[in-house]
A and B are shown apart, each in its own frame.
Chain A
Amino acid sequence: MLSPRQPMFRVLRTLPRLQHASRRWSSTEPPPAGGHSYTIGTSSLLKPTRDVALRTQGLQWVDPMDSDPSRDMLGRETRKMNMYQAIRDALSIALSKDDTAIVFGEDVAFGGVFRCTMGLAEEFGRERVFNTPLTEQGIAGFGIGYAAMGHTAIAEIQFADYIFPAFDQIVNEAAKYRFRSSGDFDAGKLTIRCPSMAVGHGGHYHSQSPEGFFMGAAGIKLVIPRSPIQAKGLLLSSIRDPNPVIFMEPKILYRSAVEQVPIDDYEIPLGKADVLRRGSDLTVVSWGTPIYTCESALELLAKPPQSISQHVPPSVRSARVELIDLRTIMPWDVETVVESVQRTGRLVVVHEAGRIGGVGAEIGAEIQKKCFLKLNAPVKLVTGWDMPVPMQYEKFYMPDNIRILDAMVETLTF
């Protein structure tokens, strides 16, 4: 499987694939024992039935089945999918509805190291789903050129950790293509997908959450889904958005997040946050994997186990916490977050990336500006520490449920 031409780092890059190869996991099987976080597999945020799946907030059908919008859900089907299958489904829809659409990147033709492009090359041909040489700046540049001709380019960067060689193409070129020609040319039909966030054992270069680095690149949109339904709808929106979009897929959710996903073509609008739990005492904002950690922390807050109960005053256990999935990092939904914090007076932002220069710092600054008179406690950031993601120390690095719990208690008791 590993040819002698492949240098060592290529082996590292394919590590997750190799690890999972022996336990092919299909949506009909339960998550592997001990392999995934308890909270993801059993999360109440995932939609286990057709009815709840079809009633997903904000979901917009692309092809109406009935002229009467109130009957629009009738006849819609769903299928149990994990996140990589939902992404594959979105790519398949994008490819079948748009003849100009192509999917390309390193190792995508055989199905991708995370299986997101399984069978697409066979279904749509190698002209539309193909491997590129191992060059991230080349992949981004190629995609920009293809998109500049008005065609749909869906590029994959194998890990978000390896997007940095393409930073110049993304920030100086893709983001500015429209502005610099004042609309004559644009790279809006470019979408760059990349697996991101931690996976438990990814070390420095298979764990990063680089969204903060791109947040200031005016002209780019940044999207991070939390689940299969979200991934499909947000990806289809990203592909069709008139701007270049970086779509970061939390890789630990590829297999562990499973729900009933509508099989039809639908979109979930960009720039809109999703309020997952209503509350009036505290607002928690996050995106991607930590959404589930926040959910778990909320349970700890309400029912702390004996071992830590002395740190959770009874007064805060009944706190009503509003949980918001930001979904689009840029442009982020300031309206929803401000409206929430105006009501609750307290804000905790949770993300895996380090704190300095991170997305949380931006949100914190904006919220203190817009909600200054309503804030009852300082905005609290629960983030990775300001260091590379450390291999053997990940449990102490990540914003886990105990750290989120502690931040919520601190904020509620300030």
Chain B
Amino acid sequence: MFRPARIPRLSQALVSRVSRVSHARGVAGTTPQLPQHALGSLPTSTSPITSKLHFFNSVMSGEKKIPTYRVIDGAGQPIEGAEVPEIDKALALKMYEHMVLLPIMDETLYNLQRQGRISFYITSFGEEAAVIGSGAALAPDDEVLAQYRESGALLFRGFTLDDIMNQCFGTYLDSSGKGKQMPAHYGSKKLHWHTISSPLATQIPQAAGVGYAIKRDPNRRGKNCAVVYFGEGAASEGDFHAGLALASTIPTPTLFIARNNGFAISTPSTEQFYGDGIASRGPGYGVHTIRVDGNDVLAVFAAVKEARRRCIDEGRAVLVETMTYRVGHHSTSDDSFAYRPRKEVEDRKRLDNPIVRFRLFLESRGWWSKEEETALVKRLRDEVNAAYKRAEKLPKPPVEEMFSEVYGGEMPWNLKEQREELKGLIKKYGQTWEPWKSELKKHKGEGKEFLE
């Protein structure tokens, strides 16, 4: 190969430029110091030049995979070398109570959907530890941008069963969005929970922006972080790439929590990616990364707590991948036994149940008993049943509410005209056209704001 004589001089100059670059990045603490190599490196990289022809691949033999952090085993006992995170009885019991509540609430709402009493629902079966363990590790005013299977963390913050039911039934008391969105799309400004939307992964780059707002706010800088939840399927969207690229190049306290539950509807994760899960991508963006056993609530709690600390202290993004298994169907519109054997699901439920694992831990500490368990389950069932019965009786919001909050400020002329148009039609047909007549009765005021 032709090598012009000036190359050595050029590369020397490049080496000195590179050392400046690597120093700057060293301060940021994301790139490990690389050994100085006699051959130097390229101007746009800190990578040392090598004479070895070698291809890298994180899944083929010979390369290390990212390990999974675990604290307690299936019997609730600390595994060898594990340090049980500091957790007092009150917090442990609050976490456990929410882990028990979540499937009870899910089962009830799932059945209500099956009976056609709500239109749609999404359960969190099998992911109780990942969701509640992470939710418990956050500050109550960290800004959360969720996907949709994280209602346990929202309940943990103080969202009530009535809030849940009013959203799912779309009553006039729906605090999330006045009945404007599908069930399970919760939100609460008071609880710093950005309203959920269906398009997958869109919340990921938004979280980087939220993180930047926190960083620029003197009242919140160093105190809060932006937290974004997403599934391993959503991580295939371009927005995942955008979000990590933004949060790492424009450093922000943004905490990325991937729930890797093995499935995106019917697509197993083996068809979602070929690399070492989601965690392997973090280092590619220069982001602190950890993989954690998502069925071990103590491991999730410890990992997310430390992730949050780093995120806020360093003002930089952190990625946590929680490994779980989606025990339930994707949603009420899905029958998962069409693409996976029932036995596999039953086995997972029996062999690695996150709630049982945590219960055994609590019992081993003398913090929990069978009697308390029986009483808790009964109380929660009663509370869930009472809440849905309250919501089911409530009317939907006034029909006119439909036109509100499309725009801030003055309503544009087209919407004003359309509201008048609907008003005229309801006056004309509202009492005679049966589909409208019966629907109007379900709304608060029965459409009287249109009939007057």
Given that A130-B250, A138-B245, A142-B206 are known contacts, is A331 also in contact with B199, CB under 8 Å in the complex? Answer: no
Q: 1/0 per position for A44-78, CB-CB distance to B under 8 A?
A: 00000000000000000000000000000000000
* Cα(A288)–Cα(B189), bound, Å: 39
List chain B residues, Cβ under 8 A from A138. Answer: 205, 208, 239, 241-243, 245-246
* Cα(A275)–Cα(B341), bound, Å: 69
Q: Is the CB of B22 closer than 8 A to any CB of chain A?
A: no
Q: 1/0 per position for A126-155, CB-CB distance to B under 8 A?
A: 010010110101101111111111110100
Q: Is the CB of B143 closer than 8 A to any CB of chain A?
A: yes
* Cα(A308)–Cα(B212), bound, Å: 60
Q: Is B249 touching A180 in the complex (CB atoms < 8 A)?
A: no
A188 to chain B, nearest CB (A): 5
* Cα(A29)–Cα(B366), bound, Å: 85
Q: Is the CB of B11 closer than 8 A to any CB of chain A?
A: no
Q: Is B177 touching A181 in the complex (CB atoms < 8 A)?
A: yes
* Cα(A248)–Cα(B178), bound, Å: 33
List chain A residues, Cβ under 8 A from B238. Answer: 135, 137, 165
* Cα(A53)–Cα(B177), bound, Å: 46
Q: Is the CB of A178 closer than 8 A to any CB of chain B?
A: yes
* Cα(A180)–Cα(B242), bound, Å: 24
Q: Is B194 touching A147 in the complex (CB atoms < 8 A)?
A: no
Q: Is the CB of B77 closer than 8 A to any CB of chain A?
A: no
Q: Tally of A-B residue pairs with Cβ under 8 A?
A: 169
A35 to chain B, nearest CB (A): 35
List chain A residues, Cβ under 8 A from B214. Answer: 149
Q: Is A149 touching B143 in the complex (CB atoms < 8 A)?
A: yes
List chain A residues, Cβ under 8 A from B115. Answer: none
Q: Is the CB of A183 closer than 8 A to any CB of chain B?
A: yes
List chain A residues, Cβ under 8 A from B242. Answer: 133, 135, 137-138, 141
B187 and chain A: residue at smallest CB distance: A181
Q: Is A173 touching B202 in the complex (CB atoms < 8 A)?
A: yes
Mark A residues whose CB is within 8 Å of B. 3, 5, 100, 102, 104, 127, 130, 132-133, 135, 137-138, 140-151, 153, 165, 168-169, 172-173, 176-186, 188, 218-219, 221, 241-243, 271, 330-331, 334-335
Mark B residues whose CB is within 8 Å of A. 44, 143, 145, 175-178, 180-181, 185, 187-189, 194-195, 197, 199, 202, 204-214, 216-217, 226, 238-239, 241-243, 245-246, 249-250, 401, 404-409, 412-415
Interface contacts beyond A151-B216, A185-B187: sample of 17 additional A-B pairs, CB < 8 Å, sorted by A = A102-B212, A104-B250, A133-B246, A149-B209, A153-B209, A169-B205, A179-B177, A179-B406, A180-B177, A180-B180, A180-B185, A181-B177, A183-B405, A184-B175, A184-B189, A188-B408, A243-B409
* 7 nearest CB pairs, A to B: A145-B209, A141-B205, A138-B242, A242-B408, A145-B206, A149-B213, A331-B412
